[in-house]
Structure 1
Amino acid sequence: MCRNIRQLHHFDPPATPEEVQAAALQYVRKIGGSAAPSRANQPAYNQAVATIAEATQQLLDSMVARGAPKDRQVEADKARARSAARFARG
């Protein structure tokens, strides 16, 4: 759906509240169709972000992980390598 929303589950260290909030904001912006809502819609956006962030945190807290947690730096390096290969000029 939205490429800016990243997996938050099963990382070491765990996702921070700021990461959960940012993912919720990206989701609301995507489904709301606007990165900067009008003043009239701002309260609805803010409420949606808060609700989704809370639900996301509850989900992350209740999920059971198997295996070793992923390393954030290793995953970021893999993503950069995929991007470089995808957008390489040949």
Structure 2
Amino acid sequence: MCRNIKTLFNFEPPATEDEIHASALQFVRKLSGFNKPSQANEAAFELAVHEVSDVARRLLASLHTQAPPRDRATEAAKAKERSQARFAGR
């Protein structure tokens, strides 16, 4: 799993278009092995990012949960604590 792709479902406020696009971009980069595609592959790469963004947006809109929405600031603080604990001994 790409470490840079973040969970986007069940947050308040909801995921933005920029967050969805960034996740799609990371996913396509991982699949293709390209950080920046060549000119020959640029159109296919951009189309894939666009299509993955569309699918991700539809997925997020169709998901349902009984759990209360998570707070972005709280989740960011937890992630920072996990990172500090993970890298403290290095």
Matches of 1:9 and 1:77, distance apart in 2: 18
User: Is 1:23–2:29 an aligned residue pair?
Assistant: no
TM-score (normalizing by structure 1): 0.97
User: Is 1:46–2:46 an aligned residue pair?
Assistant: yes
Matches of 1:31 and 1:39, distance apart in 2: 18
Percent of aligned pairs with the same residue? 48
**Equivalences for residues 55-70 of structure 1 within 5 A:** 55-70=55-70
Matches of 1:45 and 1:22, distance apart in 2: 14
Matches of 1:65 and 1:20, distance apart in 2: 19
Segments of 5+ residues of structure 2 without an aligned counterpart are: none
- Length, aligned pairs only: 90
Residue 64 of structure 1 aligns to a residue whose secondary structure is coil
1:22-42 superposed Cα distances (whole Å, 9 cap, x missing partner) = 000000000100101101100
Matches of 1:5 and 1:56, distance apart in 2: 12
Q: Which residue of 2 aligns with 1:73?
A: 73
Segments of 5+ residues of structure 1 without an aligned counterpart are: none
Higher percent of residues as helix: 2
Runs of 4+ in structure 1 displaced over 6 angstroms?
A: none
Higher mean displacement: 45-54 or 64-73: 64-73
